[in-house]
Amino acid sequence: MGISFPNEARSFDNRNRCVRFTGYDGMFEIKFYLATEVLACEKSHRDTSEADYLASFDALRPRILKAAISAYSKARSGAIMLDLTHFR
């Protein structure tokens, strides 16, 4: 069974500077953490708000999910951190 993303929920983690979202491999929940550097684009981290990060995540969702699937297929871990290297 492959990984799926039936829940579109995501949340911003200010402490760890990432956006969290989940995927499911059958009955197993896989936690993903997307580094804010992926979403900041041309804005500085100081000027980017939580709403900006979440809006950017929503706009890039198809690309982010593709990167998440690829990372999960290699790691098969219960928690995966996605950074800029996953988008090259």
DSSP 53-77: HHHHHHHHHHHHHHHHHHHHHHH--
pLDDT at residue number 88: 85
Q: Residue holding tokens 């829940």?
A: 7
11 near 58, Cβ under 8 Å? no
Residue-wise pLDDT for 28-82, tens only, equals 999 999 999 998 865 566 678 899 999 999 999 999 999 999 999 999 899 999 9
54 near 36, Cβ under 8 Å? no
The structural domains of the chain, ordered by start, are 3-87 (3.30.160.140)
Whether the model clears a pTM of 0.75, i.e. scores above it, the answer is: yes
Q: Beta 18-25 vs 3-4: how paired, if at all? A: antiparallel
